[in-house]
Structure 1
Amino acid sequence: MRIRKVLVGIAAVSSLLLAGCGGSGSGTSENLPKNVADAGGMDSLIEKAKEEGEVSLYAATTEKSTTAWIEHFEKKYGIQVKLYRDGSTTLFQKWAQEVGGGVDNADVVIQNVYQLWQDAEKEGWITDYQTQNYDAYDYDKVLPGTGLAGKIYPLHQSIGAIAWNTEVTTPEQQKLLREDPVAALADPAFKGRIALGDTGGATTAGNYANVILHQSDKYGWDWLDGVADNDPALFESQIPIAEQLVKGEYAVTFGTDTLYNDYIDEGAPVEYAYPTPTNAALWMMGLPTATPHPYAARLFLEWASSDEGHDLMATYGTGAGSRTGWVDERAIAKETWYSKPEIWYGMATQPELQGDGFADFVSKVNATLKK
């Protein structure tokens, strides 16, 4: 087994949140507006936000897409956005340590690990705020049974996909991938040619949960044993996998579609196929209970959850939109091989992943792949 870096799971950050960083921070949202009307109307909210003059954004979305996105907000309102960017788990760890220590630096947090949002909600670290575009999101669909509507807002989605380099895979291998991309990963034809990302990442964990738990009758743990027998290379991040797959250093991976869309638009020899159904890692925004710029934070949430803000992030992030009525005009959707995914949103409510079950699941996946 070739392990490029030590795998770091979500479970460790979740433990830090609940065991090592208790407390609700140094402030409260009790007297702050819960919607635009409470703020005296949109004009009043904008005026108060401009007086504060800044938004502190903690975001796990990619730096390139996020920087391009927030420039639109800055230009529209004349309010500077101070960006802190890191991976979802490490970003959340930083936020947890700050809030647990009574320091409130973040105005808005964006990340895609639902279990961490659950922990933050239990700790009282995120607050209710109903934006004007609240009804544009079908929470029963994208966040089924979660109870966090109005505390977290959807952005775009990174969708689980099995991608391959068409120049280093044979016609026979590509036939296997197109017929059943999940089963193909366990086929001996791909031994030594697979690269996989950190199972602690939200997208990867969800991909495995969908295949192993949700589709246990078709794939299950036996399927993962077959993948492990193919000696996959394991990476802490999917980003270097994408780079090496494009170069042909690996043939196939189980990752996320958004990592490959720009490469494909630029002519890279890559295609991908979705499992049926496939997992969606939903990027979500939360409003901390205590923030350094409470009115600017609320204005940013209004803009980011609006049709304008949502669609701009979907464009820059190359992911599928999550609001009702979103129209897919991406270049990738026009590729002859592209097929619209059937999405599974059940990771948040999958019985085996509740409580300590999530950490146990991640540990078992990692142990199986490293055998």
Structure 2
Amino acid sequence: MKRFTKAALPFVVVSALALAGCSSDDADTANAEGSSDALSGTVTLYTSEPQEKIDEIIAGFTEQHPDVTVETFRAGTGELTARIATEQETGEVQADVLLAADVPTFEAYVEDDMLAPLEVDNVTELDETYVDSEGYWVGTRVIPTVLAYNTDVVDSPPESWQELTDEEYAGQISMPNPDVSGAAAFNAAVWLDDENLGEDWLDDVMDNDPTILESNGPVGQAVADGTTGVGVVVDYLARELGEQGSPIDLVYPTDGAPYVSQPAGVFSDTENPEVANAFIDYLISEEGQTTAVEQSYLPVRSDVGVPEGAPEMDDLELLDPDLDHIAEIQSESVDHFNSLLN
């Protein structure tokens, strides 16, 4: 089970620094003049968030900072990383902020000196599990991968990863493509590294002839319309489809759910670091996390509740691998996954 422990890490906490250098007279002056917010300018966000969800987040942020414009490029994690690599080779990264699926992607950018240390206030309110100990990225929501199933098609759904190898699910499973989905790439590494799963388990799953779809969205839809009875998919999608009336339910695997924390970081090439950091601070603020919960995500804070119908965070059985090791093996794990398809 997941236990909440607040982070106490080497981030620059903006409000504390401001207070240290600000007299009470300065504060009174700022209050007398109204809002002291002077943020302005444009930042570019690269993200794998669904467009509707990121639009809601940006609307909340710009309501607080009306002189800021957030421009967005939205794509799957694989396309984002390819775009960033091309930009890095030809000059400089055009994004200020990256909000995408998995920690290994961010660790690679830290290794290449592409991210700047964050300067955010709300990091102290987060579970330390979702915060980089060196201060370069911070998780923004908890997104476990679960077993979704069509209630009209499947009478006895699998309750664990091990059960996916049962013959009764042959030809009935759909999974996202790890070349496209950052969460799927991360999952491949976690599964192969897990002593209770590993290569033999993945071989047996592939013997059940799963359908590999482009990303989590098509997997969720395939389960919802009964094209496949069972889907390996992120939990919020299954929850949303059920709320919309589809005959779909989900199981958090009893042998543990791999999860991504949708990290956010600031590129070192940014020309507007203050606004970039403010955007990330909003993502992990109480208001930003309340929006995440309303969007059916599990939060990285303990003071905003959970989506309706979701388990409490302390009741979740989450797989907790060594993230540094997962970062090292993720690429070869995706290659191994793909080799089994061939």
Q: Which range, TM-score by smaller chain?
A: 0.7 to 0.9
Indicate how the Cα distance of structure 1 residues 225 and 123 shifts in structure 2: closer, same or farther if over 3 A, else same: closer
Residue of structure 2 equivalent to 1:254? 232
Size of the aligned set, in residue pairs, is: 316
Q: Does structure 2 conserve the Cα–Cα contact (< 8 Å) formed by 1:66 and 1:313?
A: no
Q: CA RMSD for the aligned pairs?
A: 2.7
Q: Does structure 1 conserve the Cα–Cα contact (< 8 Å) formed by 2:284 and 2:300?
A: no
Report sequence identity in percent: 21
Unaligned runs of 5+ in 1: 1-32
Unaligned runs of 5+ in 2: 1-11
Q: Distance in 1 between matches of 2:327 and 2:73?
A: 30
Residue of structure 2 equivalent to 1:21? none
Indicate how the Cα distance of structure 1 residues 106 and 354 shifts in structure 2: closer, same or farther if over 3 A, else same: closer
Which letter maps to 1:132? D
Paired residue secondary structure (1:156): coil
Which letter maps to 1:332? G
Indicate how the Cα distance of structure 1 residues 165 and 122 shifts in structure 2: closer, same or farther if over 3 A, else same: same
Residue of structure 2 equivalent to 1:28? none
Give structure 1 regions of 4+ aligned residues with deviation exceeding 6 angstroms. 38-45
Q: Distance in 2 between matches of 1:287 and 1:80?
A: 16
Q: Distance in 2 between matches of 1:187 and 1:339?
A: 30
Alignment of 1:68 with 2:56, yes or no, is yes
Indicate how the Cα distance of structure 1 residues 354 and 362 shifts in structure 2: closer, same or farther if over 3 A, else same: same
Residue of structure 2 equivalent to 1:156? 141
Residue of structure 2 equivalent to 1:8? none
For residues 289-320 of structure 1, give each alpha carbon's deviation from its aligned partner in whole angstroms, at most 9, with x where no partner exists.
Answer: 1213333222222222212123313422x211
Q: Distance in 2 between matches of 1:273 and 1:168?
A: 15
Q: Does structure 2 conserve the Cα–Cα contact (< 8 Å) formed by 1:112 and 1:282?
A: yes
Residue of structure 2 equivalent to 1:107? 96
| Shift, 1:347, TM fit | 5.2
Q: Distance in 2 between matches of 1:186 and 1:160?
A: 17
| Shift, 1:207, TM fit | 3.0
5 Å-filtered alignment, 1:207-356, equals 207-214=187-194, 216=195, 218-275=196-253, 276-316=255-295, 318-328=296-306, 330-333=307-310, 340-346=315-321, 348-350=323-325, 353-355=326-328
Q: Distance in 2 between matches of 1:262 and 1:339?
A: 22
For residues 153-186 of structure 1, give each alpha carbon's deviation from its aligned partner in whole angstroms, at most 9, with x where no partner exists.
Answer: 11012111011101011x3x33xx2xx3312211
Q: Distance in 2 between matches of 1:117 and 1:339?
A: 26
Which letter maps to 2:192? I
Indicate how the Cα distance of structure 1 residues 347 and 163 shifts in structure 2: closer, same or farther if over 3 A, else same: farther
Which letter maps to 1:131? V
| Shift, 1:359, TM fit | 2.0
**TM-score normalized by the length of structure 2:** 0.83
**TM-score normalized by the length of structure 1:** 0.77
Q: Distance in 1 between matches of 2:224 and 2:270?
A: 41
Which letter maps to 1:323? R
Indicate how the Cα distance of structure 1 residues 235 and 45 shifts in structure 2: closer, same or farther if over 3 A, else same: farther
Q: Distance in 2 between matches of 1:220 and 1:123?
A: 30
5 Å-filtered alignment, 1:34-53, equals 35-36=14-15, 37=17, 46-47=37-38, 49-50=39-40, 52=41
Q: Distance in 1 between matches of 2:37 and 2:186?
A: 38
